[in-house]
């Protein structure tokens, strides 16, 4: 599609129509360089990965299951993404002169703005009312997944900043080739956000709530750091959540059977239909997830009177537990908090994980020990008038997000003062 020069070496940039066009080994060497999965499915770090000059608990160097070939190809093979879903794969791949992939950017040509969690509906509406055509657009993300991670995937064979510059330029070219109005890179790392901003992309901030592990020995150790009122409230919520004879099961790997996926899919369908109108993930997706990434899955299931009634799906990274989907067939006080938040904290402490990312939005997480965390996205807008309007809006939005995070940290922390 285009080429870039790195001194005397010429690289080629191309768009591929799916993960089937690149091998698992080649993709994962860019997606999670310095990591491999053991026979037991655990991420194992290459000792040399610690010499890359980035903190080991940074999203820049962590193993992230969402950007793996397995996860992204499961979405494609199950039909959750594709032409019919309005998520047409257009992944950018940068090849060296020998045809070896050295960098990539997961990208999709989209006909809507569903399943992204960074909202641009108002931009689309304003542009189309002014006579423009907002769709198609390009979306660079993990579909249906509001979790921060690398979006510019680079192997160790290329300078990372140079690769980001090449891919961000190629993305603008792809916009023109596909007659897309814009390109949106969402839930990217801070380092990527900085480079994209220097390349002229508009910068956006948003906020989530994450739990951080302060080397706690157990859940009571975490509670000991909270203000007394919050500590008592959480203990009360955990007791009441397990009323009515409710039992909790935490399942990973081969312990997860098809009957568990049947039950969880029923929860997901019911809750998704009420929240979004149409759930994004189908039943095939869950079977493939259990088959290929089962050891990276934590499925928390609630059972009452021998029947599963609620559950939460989490994926396990090298340093973080990512809460993804929740669903239920029965409503019980505080059960959502127990299954999604407190069980996740228990698992993170027991397994030495640095944090829990509990998904998009949700200020109610603050009272459960989850603190504000900034998320980042970058946007290329082709039309100068729309770009100017969006740039003005984003400058004000960034100030508002930064102010809110500062106020929460200073005045509404659930932790003991001092």
Q: Give the pairing of strands 297-304 and 307-316.
A: antiparallel
Q: Is the peptide bond before 136 cis (omega within 30 degrees of 0)?
A: yes
pTM equals 0.94
Residues 6+ apart with CB under 8 A from 7: none
Q: How far apart are CA 126 and CA 335, in angstroms?
A: 41
Q: What are phi and psi of 197, to 5 degrees?
A: -60, -40
Residue 167 CA to residue 25 CA, distance in Å, equals 21
Is the distance from CB of 286 to CB of 241 less than 8 angstroms? no
CB 138 within 8 A of CB 128: no
Distances from the Cα of 399 to the Cα of 118, 132, 269, 376, angstroms: 17, 29, 37, 13
Q: Rounded to whole angstroms, how far apart are CA atoms 353 and 369?
A: 16
Characterise 305 by phi-psi region: left (phi > 0), alpha (psi -120 to 50), beta (else): left
Task: Give Cβ neighbours of residue 39 (< 8 Å, ≥ 6 apart).
Answer: none
Domains in the chain and their CATH numbers? 2-208+373-411 (3.40.630.30), 214-353 (3.40.630.30)
Per-residue pLDDT of the chain (418 residues; tens, 9 = 90+): 444 444 446 899 999 999 999 999 999 999 999 999 888 888 998 766 543 433 456 788 999 999 999 999 999 999 999 999 999 999 999 999 999 999 999 999 999 999 999 999 999 999 999 999 999 999 999 999 999 999 999 999 999 999 999 999 999 999 999 999 999 999 999 999 999 999 999 999 999 999 999 999 999 999 999 999 999 999 999 999 998 899 999 999 999 999 999 999 999 998 776 666 678 999 999 999 999 999 999 999 999 999 999 999 999 999 999 999 999 999 999 999 999 999 999 999 999 999 999 988 788 899 999 999 999 999 999 999 999 999 999 999 999 999 998 898 788 889 987 6
Q: What pLDDT is recorded for position 49?
A: 52
Residues 6+ apart with CB under 8 A from 205: 374, 375, 376, 397, 398, 401, 402
pLDDT of residue 39: 85
Helix ranges, 87-225 (H): 121-129, 160-177, 190-198, 219-224
Q: What local confidence, expressed as pLDDT, does residue 412 receive?
A: 86
Q: Calculate Rg over the CA atoms of the chain.
A: 22
């Amino acid at each position: 599609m285009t080429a870039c020069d790195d001194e005397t070496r010429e690289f080629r940039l191309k768009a591929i129509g799916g993960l089937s066009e690149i091998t698992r080994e080649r993709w994962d060497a860019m997606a999670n360089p310095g990591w491999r999965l053991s026979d037991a499915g655990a991420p194992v770090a290459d000792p040399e990965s610690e010499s890359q000059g980035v903190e080991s608990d940074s999203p820049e160097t962590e193993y992230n299951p969402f950007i793996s070939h397995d996860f992204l190809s499961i979405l494609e093979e199950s039909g959750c993404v594709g032409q019919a879903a309005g998520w047409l794969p257009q992944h950018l791949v940068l090849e060296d002169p020998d045809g070896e992939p050295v960098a990539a950017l997961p990208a999709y040509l989209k006909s809507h703005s569903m399943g992204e969690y960074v909202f641009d509906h108002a931009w689309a509406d304003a542009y189309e009312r002014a006579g423009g055509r907002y769709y198609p657009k390009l979306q660079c993300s993990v579909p249906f997944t509001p979790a921060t991670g690398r979006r510019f995937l680079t192997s160790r064979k290329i300078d990372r900043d140079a690769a980001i510059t090449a891919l961000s330029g190629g993305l603008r070219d792809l916009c023109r080739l596909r007659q897309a109005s814009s390109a949106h890179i969402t839930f990217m790392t801070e380092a990527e956000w900085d480079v994209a901003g220097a390349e002229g992309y508009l910068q956006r901030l948003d906020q989530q709530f994450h739990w951080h592990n302060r080397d706690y020995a157990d859940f009571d150790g975490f509670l000991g750091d909270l203000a007394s009122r919050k500590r008592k409230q959480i203990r009360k919520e955990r007791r009441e959540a397990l009323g009515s004879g409710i039992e909790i099961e935490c399942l990973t790997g081969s312990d997860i059977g098809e009957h568990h996926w049947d039950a969880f899919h029923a929860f997901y369908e019911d809750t998704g239909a009420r929240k979004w109108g149409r759930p994004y993930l189908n039943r095939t997706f869950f079977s493939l997830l259990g088959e290929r990434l089962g050891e990276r899955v934590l499925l928390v299931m609630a059972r009452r009177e021998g029947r599963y009634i609620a559950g939460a799906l989490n994926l396990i990274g090298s340093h973080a537990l990512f809460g993804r989907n929740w669903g239920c067939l029965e409503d019980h006080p505080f059960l959502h908090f127990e299954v999604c938040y407190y069980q996740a904290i228990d698992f993170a402490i027991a397994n030495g994980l640095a944090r829990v990312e509990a998904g998009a939005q949700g200020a109610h997480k603050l009272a459960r020990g989850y603190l504000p965390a900034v998320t980042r996205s970058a946007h290329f807008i082709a039309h100068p008038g729309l770009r100017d309007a969006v740039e003005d809006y984003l400058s004000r939005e960034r100030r508002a997000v930064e102010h809110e995070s500062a106020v929460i940290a200073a005045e509404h922390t659930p932790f003991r003062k001092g």
